């Protein structure tokens, strides 16, 4: 008779659990390394996908402030291309709205930009060209001189233009003791000029004994401002203060006053914080006693914010506003940069 043996029970040794743990540990390390490799590859692919061609469209250096804009745009281009190797920045300057509109179209069709940072030469003529570029999928950041249709932009970076006008108006009213005759020089017809002037006029309404005699466009230009001020001096026999609303226009204003040998003007208030006018404030100039900040370096802020958002794929704030601050003799040294182009 054949004897059938029962199956022998397997006895687990003391060393087997350790062996199992070692295998598990090895598997975990291999999985971890694979996960890291996958994440690294994904990050590299994301970086490749986020290579950005950014066009920067700005006015040519037609006056001191835009000269500062051109300086800061080119300086920031070099900084950003070094910081982000996958980023290409193309800076274009224009001497007219029509030229800038053509440049915007060429940046999209020829240079194949996917990002546009634009400081419009004028608001209305650039709104449709920028809207068309945005409709092609280009991310648009508008700087300073806003468009007439905000749907044509993804983001907006600017100084505090209503604040600029209010700070100037409040200071002028205080300096005049709440009474006197004032003339105003406006900038180029833009959204920001409207915001500034509206805020200044609102400040004046609180002082019924201050009369605003007239407000004309000097186009942020010394020569144009000189002509406007000549007209004011011819028509008005008593002018107590001039809101030039821009330091370049203030130069033309002062030249006209000096040529006319008028001694009735007690105050000329510009704006934007040029080094020459801040120096006048620091030195105690008799009729230039204050200024209001509005730095051309805001183009650099806009380019940096846009580049970071586009390369990283992160969202950019819809609106970024840089405050306008009153500059007086007490704080002027903080805003004086003698090596600046503006």
Tens-digit pLDDT profile for residues 191-220 = 889 999 999 999 999 999 999 999 999 999
Q: What CATH number should be reported for the domain holding residue 187?
A: 3.40.50.2300
Least confident range from 3-12, 38-47, 166-175, 258-267: namely 38-47
Residues 313-331, mean pLDDT to the nearest whole number: 95
Residues 81 and 189 in one domain: no
Helix/strand/coil for 154: coil
Residues 311 and 287 in one domain: no
Helix/strand/coil for 112: coil
Q: Has residue 32 been placed in a domain? A: no
Tens-digit pLDDT profile for residues 166-175 = 999 999 999 9
Residues 184 and 283 in one domain: yes
Tens-digit pLDDT profile for residues 71-117 = 999 999 999 999 999 999 999 999 999 999 999 999 999 999 999 99
Q: Has residue 13 been placed in a domain? A: no
Given this model, what pLDDT does residue 43 score?
38
Extract the tokens encoding 268.
């000329």
Helix/strand/coil for 186: strand
Backbone torsions φ then ψ of 185, nearest 5 degrees: -110, 120
Residue 14 has pLDDT above 90, yes or no: no
Q: CB–CB of 55/116 below 8 Å?
A: yes
Residue 62 has pLDDT above 90, yes or no: no
Given this model, what pLDDT does residue 295 score?
87
Residues 9-29, mean pLDDT to the nearest whole number: 43
Residues 174-181, mean pLDDT to the nearest whole number: 97
Confidence of residue 50 (pLDDT cuts 50, 70, 90): low
Q: What is the rounded CA–CA span in Å between residue 119 and residue 158?
A: 10
Given this model, what pLDDT does residue 341 score?
80
Q: Has residue 198 been placed in a domain? A: yes
Q: Has residue 31 been placed in a domain? A: no
Residue 8 has pLDDT above 50, yes or no: no
Helix/strand/coil for 27: helix
Residues 152 and 165 in one domain: no
Residues 171 and 236 in one domain: yes
Residues 228-250, mean pLDDT to the nearest whole number: 97
Q: Which domain holds residue 304?
A: 49-158+297-321
β-pairing, 210-217 vs 180-186, is parallel
CB atoms under 10 Å from CB of 83, counted, come to: 13
Q: Has residue 107 been placed in a domain? A: yes
Q: Has residue 83 been placed in a domain? A: yes
pLDDT above 90: percentage of residues in the chain: 78
Tens-digit pLDDT profile for residues 123-139 = 999 999 999 999 999 99
Helix/strand/coil for 121: coil
Task: Please state the domain count of the chain.
Answer: 2
Task: Give the residue from 255, 274, 292 where a domain finishes.
Answer: 292
Given this model, what pLDDT does residue 325 score?
94
β-pairing, 326-327 vs 291-292, is antiparallel
Is pTM beyond 0.85 here? no
Q: How many Cα atoms are found within 13 Å in the side-chain-facing hemisphere of 248?
A: 21
Residues 57 and 147 in one domain: yes
What radius of gyration do the chain's Cα atoms show?
Answer: 31
Extract the tokens encoding 173.
């009213």
Q: What is the mean pLDDT of the chain?
A: 88
Q: What is the rounded CA–CA span in Å between residue 217 and residue 47?
A: 47
């Amino acid at each position: 008779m054949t004897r059938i043996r029962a199956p022998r029970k397997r006895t687990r040794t003391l060393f087997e659990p350790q062996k199992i743990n070692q295998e598990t540990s090895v598997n975990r390390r291999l999985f971890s390394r694979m996960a890291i490799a996958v994440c690294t590859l994904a990050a590299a692919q994301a970086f490749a996908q986020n290579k950005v061609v950014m066009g920067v469209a700005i006015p040519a250096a037609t006056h001191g402030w835009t000269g500062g804009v051109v300086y800061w745009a080119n300086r920031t281009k070099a900084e950003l291309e070094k910081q982000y190797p996958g980023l290409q920045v193309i800076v274009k300057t224009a001497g007219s709205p029509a030229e800038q509109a053509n440049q915007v179209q060429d940046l999209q069709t020829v240079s194949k930009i996917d990002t546009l940072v634009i400081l419009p030469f004028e608001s209305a003529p650039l709104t449709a060209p920028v809207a068309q570029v945005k409709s092609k999928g280009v991310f648009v950041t508008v700087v300073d001189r806003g468009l007439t249709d905000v749907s044509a932009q993804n983001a907006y970076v600017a100084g505090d233009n209503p604040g600029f006008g209010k700070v100037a108006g409040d200071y002028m009213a205080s300096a005049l003791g709440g009474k006197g005759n004032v003339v105003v020089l406006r900038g180029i017809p833009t959204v920001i000029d409207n915001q500034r002037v509206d805020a200044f006029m609102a400040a004046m309404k609180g002082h019924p004994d201050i009369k605003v005699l007239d407000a004309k466009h000097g186009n942020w230009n010394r020569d144009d401002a000189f002509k406007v001020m000549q007209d004011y001096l011819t028509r008005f026999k008593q002018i107590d203060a001039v809101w030039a609303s821009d330091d370049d226009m203030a130069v033309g204003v002062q030249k006209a006053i000096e040529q006319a040998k008028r001694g009735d003007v007690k105050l000329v208030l510009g704006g934007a914080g040029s080094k020459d006018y801040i120096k006048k404030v620091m030195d105690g100039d008799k009729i230039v006693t204050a200024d209001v900040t509005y730095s051309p370096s805001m183009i650099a802020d806009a380019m940096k914010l846009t580049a970071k958002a586009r390369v990283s794929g992160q969202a950019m704030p819809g609106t970024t506003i840089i405050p306008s601050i009153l500059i007086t003799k007490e704080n002027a040294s903080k805003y004086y940069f003698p090596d600046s182009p503006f």
